[in-house]
Structure 1
C-alpha cells in the first residue's frame, strides 16, 4: 500500500485513543514495544538493526489532544487499527463503527482542560523536588543512612576539559619535570557551569561527587523562581522501563504529576513549560545502567531533545561507563578535591558529632599518612575515612587496607542488622569468611570477561554451587536458600546491589577488584612461578589494572612481582627492531646530555612521540597521554626520594629543536600547525609558533653550556637564512634540508622513522605496563628503595643494556 497520509475520522480516533489508554496506559514506548514484539508488522533494517514499526514521536503526535486535524501515514494507520481495534485496516474500522465516507475528514475537538493554578502548584512541586533531592545516602553507614545534602555538601569544582580525552602537552610535562606546576584547564564553579552550558555531559570518577553536584543544582532551581527542575535517576528509570514499558518522556512527564492536581491538567501544563524551554532536566548515573541499554537511553534522549530543544540538560556518567556523550553535549569533568575542600567536608561531617573535638587530630593524621592523604581528593573515599574514624578505627595505610576495612565494615553491619531471617543452620554455616569467599568467587569468575553485571539467575547458580558443599544444605532447600542468600546480600550486606530488574553489580567496582585481588593473593602467595604466569596472562588486561595495584600493596615482599613485571617489559620489546633502535637512541641522547635517568628517558620518549626526533611524529593510535604519565610518575618517584636530575643545557636544546623540527615540517608540508594540539590545549605553544624565528635564534645562547662542538656555524647560517613567516612550502622544504642535516649530525635528531602496525601495538603494550609499574612503585609497598631504583633504571633501555 502506498504510504500516503490519511485524515482520520473523529469517532475512529476516539476509539483508537480509548484502546491506547486501555492497552498501553497512554505510554508511547509501551505501544512501540508491543507493535515491535507482535511480529505482525513491517520493520526495516537500518545500520544492521531493525527500526521501530512506528516511532515514539509519531505516536505521541497522533494521540496528542491538541485539537488539530489528525493525519497519519496510511500504513501506520492500518497497523494501529489492526493492533488496537482488532480489525484488518482503517476501512474495516470505519465499517465496524458505522462511519460513512461523508464523515471522512473530521477534526478532533480540543479537549476541555482546566488551566493549572501555578501559584498553588509550583510551591508544592518545588517542595517535592526538595524532598527528593535534599538528602543523600551515606554508603558506609548501616543501611546507607540519609544525610541532609546541605549539611555536608562542598562546592564542586569542574574542569572544562576531560582529562581522559587528551594527553598533556609537552609544556606541561616539561614544567612538571622542572618542578613547576602549569595547568591550562579552566576550572568552573557550579553556577558558572550551568549558566554557560545548556547541554552537559558531566564525567567523573566513582565517588567524585557527580550526583551531589546535580542534586545541589536541582535544589538551587527549586529554591528560586528560575528553571523548573526535574531529576531522573537513570537506574530507577530503567527499572520502570523494564517493568512497565515506561519511556523516558513518560518518566519525565510523570515527575510533574502530584496527587492533589488533575494529571491531564498537569501534563498539559508541563508540556507547555518544556516547549517554552523553562525546565532543567537532570539525568543521573548513566554508568549505573547495563551497558546494553545505553543506546536506548541515548535514542530516547535525542528524541526528547528534538521535541523540546530549548531546555537545559545535564547527564552524569562515571569514567568508563560509556565511550561518548549524546550529540551536541559539551563534556566536562568533576575535578578532584583540593585540600581546602576536603578540610571543609571533614569539618561539616563531624559538626555536632561525638567526634567533633578530634577533627584537628584527624586532619593531622591524614597529613602524616601520605599514602592515604591522596584519598582526600575523592569524596567517597574520604567519607569512608570519616566513617571509620567516627566508628573509632584508625586511619588505614594504603588502598588495600582501606578497601579491607570497608568490606569488614559491611560484613559487621550485615551481622548486626539482619532483617531477613533464614534457616538457623544456614546462618551458622555462612560465616563471615565464607561470605568473603563467595564474593571472591563471584568477582573472580567474571573479571576475565570484564563483566560487572549479573542476572539474578547467574548469581543464584554461583550461590548454589557454593553452598551445596556446606553441611546441612539439602537438594530440597537449595533453591530457596540461594534466593534467601541473594536477597540478604543485597538488603543486609550492601556490597551487591540490584541495579535493574534482575540485574546486580557490586556497589562500587573497587569492591569487585578487591575480591578478585583476595582470590589471587591466596593462590599465588610469593611463588615466583605463579606470579610469572599471572603477569603473562593478565597484566595487559585493563580489567586487572587496579587488581595488580592491590596485589603489590599486600605482598609480604613485592620484589618478586616487580622483578617479573620488569622482566616482562623487557620481553615485550626485545624482538622489535625499531623499538630497540628507539631505546638505544634514547640512551645515547640522555647520556650525551648528562641526564641518563629513567625519568628523563621517559620524558624524551614522550617528546619523540609528538615530534620527528626519532620516530614519525604523532603516530596514530599510540597512547601518547599514557606515555607522558609514565614520565610524570617517574619524576614523582624521584621527587619523593630527593633524587631528581636537573635539566641540562643540552637536553633543553634537544627538546626545543625537536619541537621546532615538527613546526618546520608542518610548514614544509603545508599542514596547519597543530603541534601538540596547541591552540586547543596550550596557549603557550601558540605564541611559540607565532615567534618561531625568535625562539630558534635564541638557541644560539644554549650552545656554550650545551657542549656541542662545531655546531655554532651551522646554526648561525640557518638563523641567517631563516624563512619569512609567509614563505612558501618549497622555501621551507629547502631550508629544512640543512636543518635536518645539522640536527642529525650534532644531536642525532630528526630521523622521522616510520613504524609498522605491529610496532605500534608493541609500543602501546610497553607503555601500558610501564605505566602500571610506575604506579606500583609510587605506592606503599614492601620493597627496598635500592631495589625499586634498580628496577626503574631498566625502563626505556635497549635489550642487554641492563641486567
Structure 2
C-alpha cells in the first residue's frame, strides 16, 4: 500500500500524527505502534531499530523487546529509513535533469529587474553575499537600555542596524539545515537570495547532488483548487515530469518556496497545509522557504528559522562595485558621498533602498540637495511601489487606513517620541497612539474592543507590509531607520493643514536649536515648508538671544569687526559663520579641529567663489589651518617617538602660507620665514638632545605663542580667548546654531537668503566701538621677549 503523506498513514493505522512523526524522526514510540508501522510499510523492524548493533542492549532486553505485551516505549536507535523507503538513485539522473531544466531555471532566476531599471541585469553580475542571523532579532528578550547599548553612534545619531548580532553566510545556513525558513524585512533580498541558490545549484556550484525547483507560492495559490505543490511542479516541468518525479522520490531536489507572505490571507491555510504535506511526503529533499519576518504567525516543526541581516559596509561596497560597471570612478564617488552622509548611509543597509540610491546617483552623480525628496521617494517605494510592482495586493489590517492616514499617523508617533527623546518604543505605547489617532482624527466609529484588536493588527502591518516600524526585541519597536523618524517628525511640524497655526510648532522647534539631535529635523522642515521665511526669522531671533545670554560681547565684537572688514552685504552671514569656525573651531571641537570651508558654512557657495578671487580671505584660511596643525595633540613630541615626517603637514602649511603672504603682506612673510627656520630646528633635534634638554614641550609652546602673535599682529586672528567652561558651552551652542542657520539658508530660496544675510550683518548686542580685550601672554613660556612686539587689540 502506498501513502502520499504521513497524515494518510496515521489515518489508515488509526494512530496519532505525532506518533508517525516521531517514528520518522527516530524518536521513541510504543512497541505496538512501531511494529504496526513497520508491518504496514513492509519494513524489517529489527534492522530499522538497529537493535542487534546496540552495545548497551543486553540479550535479555532484546528478547523482552520482542515479546513484551505492554505498550512501553520502544527504543529506536539511529533510524535510517531512506535505505528502505527510497529506490536506488539512477547514476545519470541529476546530470540529465539539470540539462533539461537549465533553460527553465535560467528564465526564472537568472536575471533581475526592479524599480526603475531600464533593462534586466544578470543576477550573478549583481548578487552580493547574504548574511543571516541564527537568532531572530525580534524574539530577543532585551530592555530598551540593552538596545541603546547595541546602537552604533555616528555623529551623535543612533545607527539602528542588526549587524551587532552574530552573522553567518547564508549559503552555510542552507547547507547546514535541510529544512530552512528565511525571514526578512521588506526589500531585504529574500527572493534574490533564493534565485541565487537556484542558479548556483543548477550549475553544480552548490549542493551539486541536487536539482533546484523554484516555486512562487503566490502562483501556487492562484493556480487552481485544491492547492497542490506536486501538481504545480508537474505543470511547471511538464516536459520532464518523470525525471522530476524520480528526483523528488529519491530526495535529490532543492525545493525553493518563495514569498509565503505574498499569499493572500484567505489562501494561506491551504498553502500552509500543502507545504506540510509535501515536505512530509518528500521529506528527504532540501527545503528553503522565504517570508517577511512580521508576517509569520505559524510554525513548521521540522524547519529551522534564520533572519537576513542588514547590509554592512563591506556588502554595500561590494554591491556598489558590481552596480557601477560602466565607469571605474563611479563606485568610489558613490561610496565617498554615501559614507560622508550618515542619514543616507543608514538607508543603504537595506538592499532595496541601496538599489534606489544607486539608481539616483547613476543619473546625477550626487544625492538630492533636499533630503526630503529622497526620503519621500524611499517611503513611496516601501509604502506603495514595491508591492505594486510585483502585483501584490495585501489584504492586511493596514488597509483600514489610507496611505494619507498612515503617513499622518507615523508623523504623530515620530514627533511625540522624538520630543521625549525615545529611539525605542514599547508595543503598548504604539498601540495606544494608533487607538487615539483612529478614535479622534480618523473618527472611526468602532467599538473600543475592536479598536484594541485593530491597533495591534495595524502595528503589525506597518512592520510586515512596509517595514517602517520594526520589532527590535520582544514588545519593543523602533523606526526601521532613524532618519525616517526624523523625516516624519519634520512632516508633523510642517503639516500644511496647520495653516495659520503653523507658528506654534515652529516656535517649539526653534526652542530646540541648541540640541544637535534636532538639527536634521530643522533641515528637513525647511525642505517641506512652502515658505521657510517664518522659521528662518525665528531661528535668527533665537540666535540673537543666545548671544545676549552668553554675555560674550568682546568676542562677538571682534567677530563683527572681522566680518565687516572681509564681507559684502550678500555674503555677510556666511562670512561671519566662516570666521567663527576659523577662530574657534579648534577650541570648541578639539578632536576634529577646524573643519575649514565645510559645506555647512558655505551653504550658497559664496565663500568658495570669493576664495578664488580674494587673496586675503584665502590667506586667512591657510593661516588658520597652520595654527590648527600647530596646536594639534599629535605634535606633543616624546623622546624616541618623533621624526621629521610627522611634521610634514605642518611644514607644508607653513610653506603655503609663506608663499601666499609674499605678494600680499611682505612683513607677514618675513615673520613666517623666521618661524619656518625655528620649526626646522625644533623638528630636527635628535632624541639624544631631547633627553638632556628635556624641554621639548616648552620649546614647542614658545613657538606656538610666537605664531599666535604673528597672526594677531598681521591678520587679527589666532587670539587666546579665555573662556570658562560655561562660556565655552554657550559659545559652542552659538557656533552650532550659526552653522545650522547657514545650512538652512542654503536650502531656502535666493530671495530669502539675501534678506536674511542682510539682517544678520550685525548683532544688536554688539557695540562696534567697543575695544576688544584679548587675553594673551605678554611674555613667552620661557620668559623671553616675544618674536614680534605686541600691539593693543583696539587698534584693529
| TM-score bracket for the superposition, by shorter chain length | 0.3 to 0.5
Tell which structure's C-alpha radius of gyration is larger. 2
The TM-score normalised by the length of structure 1 is 0.45
